[in-house]
Chain A
Amino acid sequence: MRPSKNSAMSTTAERICKLLALGMLWSSVVMTGCASESQPALICHNSNCVEPPDPHADDTLDALTASLALELDGRPAVDGIETDIFWSGESKRCIFAHDLETGADGPDAIEAANTIGKWLEGRGTKPATRAAGTFTVFIELKGHVGLSKADKHTPEQRASHASCALDMVARLAAASEASGVPLAVRFTSFDPDLLQALVDEPRWTKKTAKGEVSVALGVILGIPPPLDGQSKPLSAFSADLPIDFALCHPHWLRDGNRVAIRSRGWRLAWWMFSAVAETYDAIDRYEPAYVVTSEGETLARWLAARAQ
């Protein structure tokens, strides 16, 4: 008796199902061998990594001071600090703040550099990092100048914003020289034009050529459109820019972008607020160069346990 058409289709479906299940199992088995022991530099997210995470305190001088004071086993809990800076179109000020809704009256950006600089200068013989040899400061240049993320910089505002960021570097470089703590500064932004403005600033070349501090650029990828409009396609970032890494949220980075990032020769870095299983697994699987976290102690302890 010939098999019916339905029977044949059912058999085909079963075979496909088995192949899919086998594929998933194989992927699972392969992934069991992917964990590694690489140690990323741990960076304090939004100058605020005292736990539990409190995003309302992000990019405030109080949180910055408290985060710098975090210690674990006699060493700082982190390897560096991230600061966010705005150029306010309304007040024409360079502001240390996470957003302009609540931070428009925040301190000048140079105050954040002063706070970090004084801390570096006060280290004496005490270590300045958790594990890395270099203290790293991330400076994120926010891509809008008003309350709406659609309020983009004019060319003059971009130049002023970039100049402000390099003023911060000058202050940090002086502290590095005075303290003897090696310093790296990583400028990050969602906005390729702001990264370009930094490179176009006359002091950019001087800083790199003299080797006073290690400077480089990072691209930020956040929640993809249409949920959030800040992330730009990788193609928006010129190959001529000295981009070192892409700072991504591990739960939202698509595989295609991850491969493209590697193809461009950039390193991966993760940003997050509160670490969950997915975060830890993403660190294990993809070995980011930097982990930017709002939980300094938790991540430091997890990384230490992982290294043992």
Chain B
Amino acid sequence: MRNIFILVRKEFLQIFRNRQLLPFMTVLPVIQVILLTFAANYEIKNLRLGIWDLDQSTSAQQLIHKFTGAKFFQEKALISNQKKADELLMKDEVDLVLVIPKDFEKAIHSSNNPAIQFQINALNNAKAGIVQNYASAITQDFLNEKRGNSTLLASPKIIPITNYWYNPTLNYKTIMLPGIVAEVMTLIIILICALNVVREREIGTIEQLNVTPLKKHEFILGKLIPFWVIGHFIFWAGIALGKIFFNIPMVGSLGLLELFLAIFLFVPLGIGLFISTAVETQQQALFTSFFFIILFILMCGLFTPVETMPDWAQYINQLNPLKYFVEVNRLILLKGSGLKEIYPFIAKMIIYGIGINLLAIWRFKKTN
């Protein structure tokens, strides 16, 4: 016990003295959390609209007003032929060409369904999807207003009313922030743990400790405990930031979140330790860590839903610790899930944590 205390004390002395590492652990996460939360936003405004009006009717004008009146679209060009439309799309000068055909007005007043065409710039397919959604919604809206009660009465139809549970206003910051905090913390913990152990080996102090009566498990605990504490600091600072600046909801129990965090942290720590045993230099540790971190971040469900990945990818993703954390974050903070729902995640993290740490300790004993 005393040895571990001595090691932890030494580690903190070094950490607080490290002019490069300290900002990396304090200022950078704050900047990342704020920046990413604002930046990772699926709302798109100021889409550029090209208008090709073949009807030149009052209804056509009203439709165009409906588009430009909404905050999403801005009139960029008036188009009179397909060549021009193609050109603007090719040059990436418009996002959408709205084509209103001849007899559009007539079709509205008859029982025919009026046809209009969207030519969408799909250079960025995610954006193109959003453009289509907006444009369809606006058009539908317009038709409903236009035909008014008469057609509605004549042909009753089902109108779905959507209710978004747990995040009623679809606030992206609410969804993104806790995930980003978890992601930034995990990244930092894997990196500093791997780099720190490799650094001790590079400067030769591990060799020096090996000839002392210090036991291997004491050395490892002396490394893990300080970073375990730092992980807590980064996470809760990030969540506090989210509460203060973005007023993220905290429906569930923070104690439960802490319980999960306390167990979860052993996973990135174990991964960091494992990486340190597999590489020779700090540079190699950095690149190996990045390989895993990038996979973890891109597949954690924050940027693309895990559910849309192919089966084999979801299978691999079972090893992605961030996936669990992002999910637990949402379950506790947004949905207010209790221990009963979180328990399977905790159990998985215990197994994962024990597994990866045993592997790391086994490798560590072989290499040092």
Do A and B belong to a common assembly? no
Hey, which bits of chain A sit against chain B, CB under 8 A?
none
Hey, which bits of chain B sit against chain A, CB under 8 A?
none
